[in-house]
Structure 1
Amino acid sequence: MTEFLTPQQLARRTGAAVDAAVAAGRERGLTVTDAEVLHDLFSVVVHLSPAPVVARIPTVLAPGTDPAEMARRQQAELDVTRWLDEQGTPVLAPSPLVPREPVRRDGFCLTLWQFVEQVADTEPDYVVNAERTAELHAALRSYPGRLPFLSAADPDSITASLHALDDRPDLAAAADVDRARREWQVLEPLVRSRAAFADAFPGIDLQPLHGDSPPANLFAGVDGYRFADFELVTFGPVEWDLAGIGPELTAAYDRGARRAGMRELDPGVLRFVNAVGMVRIVASLALVPQQPVLAQYLQPAVEQWRDAPFAGGMAG
């Protein structure tokens, strides 16, 4: 049984990630005299001061995470954000001071980004952010690179995580795991197969996507907003980026879509991506031993899911 990390173990993990980032930066010619941790949840994000560079080091990993696959995803993120930046789309971009590629160091796989000063103590306006997401989608439509279909769902990790929750009542009730597994049997074929998705939702166009809720990932820089955290960049229906945000924000996205010349959200596809998102939340309970604070974020969503239609109504 995987034990919950103690505060001391969490601190050592963060310290090791920071040390790896500092060493990686110095090896690439950066002057690093101080390292300020800016964020620490799924990844450690650290400013390699005084260099204008931020390192992001994933530390909370799903069961069965393949380092080679992680590096591929990180390279895709670097490529997409570099391209968007070159097109004039406001993003947190890779650092131009180092090669734009993932760095493996001391058991971590990290990426290096431009440092942008953040406006302190700003509350995000999710309605405005949802409208702006349509602008991002309009920009991404022209991205020339190839991205895998709905890789952001990480189906292998969902399966492995649900298996890891077996006989773990301290993490998830057996009834919840059973329901999530049965829902996943309904949803998984449409996640894994572009053809199956097209059969279920004929006429829905697909395109490059942010992959991880752009309305929640806009960075408030002193020079304006920037889209951030493209770690799950993928290819699929635009609805994927709006999963779980509720009717007020989907209406805001539709306003932005009309303004940007994009299509409005399809209710059926929204039900599908919302259902997949909820199964991913249940599966994410397997990560709690690695980051115990996650439980307080995940449990309210799990409680809502229990009252929701089975598989978002997809099995009806």
Structure 2
Amino acid sequence: MVRVPTVLPPGLDPAGQAEQQRREIAVCRWVWDAGHPVVRPAPPERPVAGDLPPTFWERLTAVPDGTPDAGASGTTVARLHTALRPRPVELDRMHPLDDSVTAMLDALRHDTTHVSPTDRDRALRERATILPVLGDEAGCADRFPGTRPQPVHGDPPAYNVLRTPDGPYDADLEHLCVGPVEWDPTVAGPEVVTAYERAADCPVDAELPALCEAARLVQLVAWSAMVPQQPGLGDGMSPLLELWRASEPCGGALGRCSTWNHTAVVPRGTRQPCRAAARSTSAR
């Protein structure tokens, strides 16, 4: 199976894309060898040189299963996190919030078809507020004590699963990065988050998912810049843009946003550690 990027967003060149692909291939090979069901890379197990470098993957037989079950999706995400936790390669912090988001928002200055100047300005302010928290491990720990940074899928893994006669296989880990565990299950819905907590034997932060969702929506606003190259994105993005416009800045998760009010974000109290972490600590 060959996977070829259709376009490169502003801020990402072929060399950066190839490096991202090399990390994905290395992690998928490592996770597969460790026994986790993931679509494994096929020879030559490296991106092929070019402006849109292709990668090669094992071909699997998919089975139609309709809408994924929330419980199964949450369990799948939890198992992937367990498999990724040893961190076999160096990964960026919160790759989905990288500079390409700013570059795409900048490109929207010249195209107001889907995103107005007011929308763009709000997205830039939200990004400036969210990035020092989600994009920085110390900043995230300060605002959300007890958060658990580790390798995460980066793109909603509940939807990036290939369902086969042998069970689900994780796929498309090209946005693999280090971040809070809340990042992956957030946009899949509260039922998936609940199932994730049950499978991971560990609660997620009560407020961090709202901030993750806000960051996802800012990312979505930025991706509006790609609609001219991928027209099919437009219709699907419209209802989510309306959802974002109706939402509180930063999802309401940061209280008084420092970018708007020039006040510091106030840390909350420390939450209870998860049972799995407590067991691990007591075993040392």
Pick the TM interval, shorter chain. Answer: 0.7 to 0.9
Q: Is the 8 A contact 2:70 2:195 kept in 1?
A: no
Q: CA offsets, 1:116-168, max 9 Å, x none?
A: 111146443243112221111112112332211111322x1111111111142
3-state DSSP of counterpart to 1:301: helix
Report the CA distance between 1:73 and its aligned residue: 0.9
Pick one of 195, 207, 226 that aligns with 1:268.
207
Query: Who is 2:127 aligned against?
Result: 184
1:271 and 1:142 mapped to 2: Cα distance? 27
Query: Who is 1:103 aligned against?
Result: 48
Report the CA distance between 1:315 and its aligned residue: 4.8
2:85 and 2:20 mapped to 1: Cα distance? 19
Identify, as 1 or 2, the structure richer in strand. 1
1:315 and 1:302 mapped to 2: Cα distance? 22
Identity %: 40
Q: Is the 8 A contact 1:186 1:315 kept in 2?
A: no
Map 1:1-316; keep pairs closer than 5 Å.
54-95=1-42, 98-105=43-50, 107-120=51-64, 122-154=66-98, 156-258=99-201, 263-313=202-252, 314-316=254-256
2:70 and 2:229 mapped to 1: Cα distance? 29
1:265 and 1:209 mapped to 2: Cα distance? 14
1:117 and 1:288 mapped to 2: Cα distance? 31
Q: CA offsets, 1:153-207, max 9 Å, x none?
A: 22x1111111111142213122211211111121122244222222222221211
Q: Is the 8 A contact 1:206 1:235 kept in 2?
A: yes
Q: Is the 8 A contact 1:165 1:171 kept in 2?
A: no
Q: Is the 8 A contact 1:63 1:157 kept in 2?
A: yes
1:125 and 1:315 mapped to 2: Cα distance? 33
Q: Is the 8 A contact 1:126 1:249 kept in 2?
A: yes
Which ranges of 4 or more aligned residues in structure 1 deviate by more than 3 Å? 120-123
Q: Where does the alignment leave 5 or more consecutive residues of structure 1 unmatched? A: 1-53
Q: Is the 8 A contact 2:97 2:131 kept in 1?
A: no
What is the TM-score when the length of structure 2 is the normalising length?
Answer: 0.85
Q: Is the 8 A contact 1:77 1:233 kept in 2?
A: yes
What is the TM-score when the length of structure 1 is the normalising length?
Answer: 0.77
Tell me how large the CA RMSD over aligned residues is: 1.6
Size of the aligned set, in residue pairs, is 255
Q: Is the 8 A contact 1:83 1:143 kept in 2?
A: no
Q: Where does the alignment leave 5 or more consecutive residues of structure 2 unmatched? A: 257-284
Q: Is the 8 A contact 2:161 2:169 kept in 1?
A: yes
Q: Is the 8 A contact 1:122 1:220 kept in 2?
A: no
Q: CA offsets, 1:266-313, max 9 Å, x none?
A: 122212211111100111100100110101111111101111111112
